[in-house]
Amino acid sequence: MLETFDMYRQNSRAATEAGGILLGHVRGEHLEVIQATQPQAGDVRHRMRYERNDPVHQTKADLMWKQSDGEIRYLGEWHTHPEDRPIPSSVDMNGWRHRALARQDGRATLSVIVGRVGLYVSLVDREGKTNVFIECQSS
């Protein structure tokens, strides 16, 4: 998963935002991310905007769910920002709240922003409250 993040860091002025979904296990209150989908042809990618539109992401989530007998599931979303230490925009935060409130299983939604140097990781609960867990820097 970290390899996927590294492939899409916006380290040049021409690099566009990228993103995908996070898949993995729920172990009590713990989440184990095992895969991050990569951007697909139907996604919208601009320097400072990413929209996950391609159905391949959902197809991958459905396949992993089925093959694992429901053990591997959708955990959340990731995308890049063209800044060293990423900070979520109001668009990011509104999208996270919307996805968290729409979840039928009531679980929190994991959100990751990949910056050029660091990561911003948060969970948005079923009431739309954002809990920041990591604002870190890569080595």
Catalytic residue among 17, 29, 83, 127: 17
Based on the residue annotation, tell me whether 17 is a catalytic residue of this protein. Answer: yes
Give the helix ranges, DSSP H, for the chain: 2-8, 56-67, 90-102
Task: Answer whether 52's CB lies under 8 Å from 76's CB.
Answer: no
What is the C-alpha to C-alpha distance for residues 124 and 87, in angstroms, rounded to an integer?
Answer: 15
DSSP, collapsed to helix, strand or coil, labels residue 1 as coil
Active-site residues, by number, are: 17
